[in-house]
Every structure is written in C-alpha cells, then in structure tokens.
Amino acid sequence: MRRVALSKGFPATTVEEICELAGVTKGSFYHHFQGKDDLGVAALEAYFADVVAAFGDGEWSHVEDPVARLQAFMAHAAAICTGPVMISGCLIGSFSLDMAESSPDLRARLSTMFAALRDVVAGLVTDAAESRGRVLDAGLFGDQFLAVLEGSIVLAKAHADPGVPRRGLQLLAQHLDLLLG
C-alpha cells in the first residue's frame, strides 16, 4: 500500500488496487477497515513507527560528545533517506500534500508526527549548541531539517535521483558545523 500511495498518491489509489496487492477480497478488506481512509490512517501510523525506529536506531545514540552525536545523527539521517523506509518517498509528506486540507483531524495528526521528528533534531541541536557555548534556535533548525528532508524527497522524484535527500542533509550538516564553530 505504501508503494502505491507514494507512487500515485493516496487519493488516486483504489480499494481494488490495495486488495489486489494484498491478495485479499474486497469483503475481507471491509471486514477489517470501514473504508480506504481507515486503511490510510493505519498505514500512516505504521509508517511513522517505522520512521521513528529508523531514525532512532543507530550508533549515533551511543556517542557521548553532543556535537559528535549530532554529526553522527545527521550522517545517519542522510543514510535513512536512501534506505528501505524512505527510498520511495515519505508517506507523512505525501499525506500532508494530498489530504491535510480536506481532513482537519488528519492534518493535526500529521502535524504531531512532524513535530515529534523536529523535536528529536531540536534536542540534539540544543545539546550540541550548549556544549559549544552557542545559542541557536533549535526548534527552527529542526524545522529546517524537515524542510530539507521533505523538499529533497520531492526533488529526488522530479529528477529521478534518489541521492538528492542524502546530499541535501549532508549540506545541512555542513551548515550546522559552521553554526557550531
């Protein structure tokens, strides 16, 4: 379901396609879900769990020095973009573009998901900046991280170049190094 939703958008994905991919009947589908939107929310929640696990799992979390930990996280994040969870795109970003305007409840959940990811980055930036005696707006940097990530995913699709997000996050990491001195 993720692959289809990411390739053509969730609104354009049909229940028939979903059932065919899953190898189930429409009756079985409707036994588990009230409709396509319920499946979409379940898929989004499962995807978010995978994203959190992908970003959270890594050697970066065991690095003691706050600046080195942030640098290791940024390298890890760049690798995540070309790994199995995000290589085809970001379901959170895709749902935001496709459905946030038409569903206030979904928009609120998407905003919460983005905020949770931003806050991970902001916490790492705060620790690194404090260790260097610098004052940075860590929340703003967390938002910039997400803007680079999501924008790079869009550019990767437009250019058929899956390396764009990795390169974008590497450049952002270089900017962060300059800010931290």
pLDDT tens digits for range 111-148: 999 999 999 999 999 999 999 999 999 999 999 999 99
Identify whether the C-beta of residue 81 lies closer than 8 Å to the C-beta of residue 149: yes
Ranges of each domain in the chain = 43-180
CA 13 vs. chain centroid, Å, equals 21
Q: Which two tokens stand for residue 42?
A: 């379940």
Long-range own/partner contacts, residues 1-10 (CB < 8 A, 24 or more apart): 1/39, 1/43, 2/43, 2/47, 2/88, 2/91, 3/88, 5/40, 5/43, 5/91, 5/94, 6/88, 6/89, 6/90, 6/91, 6/94, 7/88, 9/94, 9/98, 10/40, 10/94, 10/95, 10/98, 10/99
Say which amino acid occupies 131: S
Determine the 3-state secondary structure of 121 from DSSP.
helix
Burial of 118 (0-12, 13-18, 19+ CB in 10 A): buried
Q: Residue 84 corresponds to which tokens in the numbers above? A: 């199995």
- CATH code matching the domain that covers 43-180, chosen among 1.10.357.10, 1.10.1040.10, 3.10.129.10, 2.60.40.10: 1.10.357.10
> What digits encode the pLDDT tens for the residues 41-65?
999 999 999 999 999 999 999 999 9
Give the pTM.
0.91
pLDDT averaged over every residue in the chain: 94
